[in-house]
Amino acid sequence: MTDMVNHPPHYTSHPSGVECIQITEHMGFNLGNALKYIWRADLKGQSVEDLRKAEFYIKREIAKREVSE
């Protein structure tokens, strides 16, 4: 039985064999989420939507950094 909460198929279908969380847990929230959406953009059939979500988080990170500079 597929575990759609902890290990849905798109979590482990990247050609590298690495789960995205193994990388994103070492990043900040915005960058980690952006990477997550980029990582899975071609794995779930919603590529444009996922790329727009990544863009949302990248823009948030840029705005955050511009304020602190």
Which amino acid appears at position 60 of this protein?
R
> What 3-state DSSP class applies to 57?
helix
pLDDT at 24: 95
What is the band of 58 on the pLDDT scale with cuts at 50, 70, 90?
Answer: very high
Of the two residues 46 and 54, the one the predictor is more confident about is: 54
In whole angstroms, give the CA distance from residue 1 to residue 37: 25
Mind giving me the DSSP string for 10-33? Answer: GGS-STT---THHHHTTS-HHHHH
State the pTM of this model.
Answer: 0.81
Q: pLDDT, tens digit, for every residue of 7-29? A: 777 777 888 888 889 999 999 99
Q: pLDDT, tens digit, for every residue of 60-69? A: 999 999 998 8
